[in-house]
Amino acid sequence: MSGVETQEVDNLAHGDISGSVGNPSDPTRPPAPGMDRLPTRRELRAAETAKAVRPRRDSATRTLQAPAPRLSPAPTPAGRSRRTKAANAVVMTFVTGLVGVMAIPAYAAGTSLEHTSSAEGTSLQDYTAANAQVVTAHNASSAPVEEEGFTATSVADLNAQKAAAARAALAEQRRTQLASSATSYTGASANQLAQNPIYQGTSASGVAAVARQYIDVPYVFGGETPAGFDCSGLVKYVFAQFGLNLPHSVRAQHNAGTVVSREDARPGDIVVWNDFSHDGIYTGNGIFIDAPKPGDQVKERPIWSTNVHFVRLLG
């Protein structure tokens, strides 16, 4: 190929055909030598081939200036995935526990409020009816008046207390006198008194009054004088002053009289235990005088047993 043809082919490859057919913008420019005709199909193919073999300079420049491709992020490691799952599980557990903790007080509060509402719904009348009690008092008596923790004492109680204190003082004085004379008693014995009685007659009306003179005399086993008495010794000494000389024995004293019923008993009769273990002098109203036991003294007191009978010695 000649130099002219080569130039033309190059021009065609770059899309510059102005040199072969003239430049319309410059009509004075003559067409290139040998280019007074249109290129053939073969020439065009040759030009395209040359264009592909020789890339344009500006295309290479653009290739060099193109930005670097963006690197895709590295895939997540399997270990990081497992840690993420574990963290999620911990968070879910904490949230579940927190919800439970908040729900329990709420439930309890709801139950309490429900119970309170139910309790408030119960009227006082219903409560009183459900808890009513019936109390029946037999032979009820008025209790002493109490105010602010203090009990008011009636005048009768005060008088009774004064009388009891006076009797106690008198008994103590008599006990002292009897104690001092007991060891030095030189009076008549029961047998001597029975032979020369102080009180004449056979009436028992004065027996109880004589027996009261010996209250507080100490108990002495086998004693039958004011120095000391046992139970049958006291009965012997008192009745000796009325002219009766009784044996010093409970059974023998029982045999010396006549048994009477409790309803017919009167002051001056003797109270005898059914087993003959004890006796005393009846003063009426279920009370008698006796010498109880060692360490004690003669006293007037209620008959504490029903296992007794009554014997009358004087009419």
Grade residue 50 by pLDDT with cuts at 50, 70 and 90.
confident
pLDDT tens readout for residues 64-87: 454 555 555 555 555 566 666 677
For residues 187 and 300, membership in a common domain is answered with yes
Residue closest to 182 by CA, chosen among 298, 69, 33, 270: 298
Cα dihedral: 206, 210, 215, 217 (round 10): -150
Q: Quick one: average pLDDT of 16-37? A: 50
Pairwise CA distance, residues 236 & 244, whole Å: 8
Quick check: is 200 in a domain? yes
Quick check: is 149 in a domain? no
Does residue 51 surpass a pLDDT of 50?
A: yes
What is the gyration radius of the CA atoms in the chain, in angstroms? 73
Which domain, by its residues, includes 191?
Answer: 163-312
Give 204 or 214, the one with higher predicted confidence.
Answer: 214
pLDDT tens readout for residues 152-205: 778 888 898 888 888 777 766 666 665 555 556 788 999 999 999 998 766 677
For residues 308 and 176, membership in a common domain is answered with yes
Our CA angle for 92, 93, 94, nearest 5°, is: 90
| Single residue among 60, 83, 100 that ends a domain in this structure | 60
Instruction: Tell if the pTM clears 0.75, that is, is over it.
Output: no
Quick check: is 156 in a domain? no
For residues 55 and 173, membership in a common domain is answered with no
Quick check: is 71 in a domain? no
Does residue 218 surpass a pLDDT of 60?
A: yes
pLDDT tens readout for residues 95-123: 666 656 565 555 555 555 455 545 455 56
Pairwise CA distance, residues 85 & 81, whole Å: 6
For residues 36 and 175, membership in a common domain is answered with no
Pairwise CA distance, residues 1 & 6, whole Å: 6
Pairwise CA distance, residues 44 & 17, whole Å: 11
pLDDT at residue 262 in the model? 94
Quick check: is 155 in a domain? no
Residue 61: its H or E element = helix 57-65
Quick check: is 205 in a domain? yes
pLDDT tens readout for residues 120-144: 555 666 656 666 666 665 665 555 5
Q: Using an 8 Å Cβ cutoff, are 281 and 234 in contact?
A: yes
Which string of DSSP letters, residue by residue, matches 89-109? HHHHHHHHHHHHHHHHHHHHH
pLDDT at residue 236 in the model? 97
Quick check: is 104 in a domain? no
Residue that has been written with the tokens 């008549």 in this structure: 188
For residues 170 and 289, membership in a common domain is answered with yes
For residues 48 and 186, membership in a common domain is answered with no
Quick check: is 30 in a domain? yes
For residues 53 and 167, membership in a common domain is answered with no
For residues 53 and 176, membership in a common domain is answered with no
Tokens (6 digits) for 79: 């270990």
Residue closest to 177 by CA, chosen among 227, 131, 141, 105: 227
Q: Using an 8 Å Cβ cutoff, are 193 and 241 in contact?
A: yes
pLDDT tens readout for residues 236-295: 999 999 999 999 999 999 999 999 999 999 999 999 999 999 999 999 999 999 999 999
CATH number, position 274: 3.90.1720.10
Tokens (6 digits) for 35: 């280019």
Does residue 63 surpass a pLDDT of 50?
A: no
State how many domains the chain has: 2
pLDDT at residue 191 in the model? 94
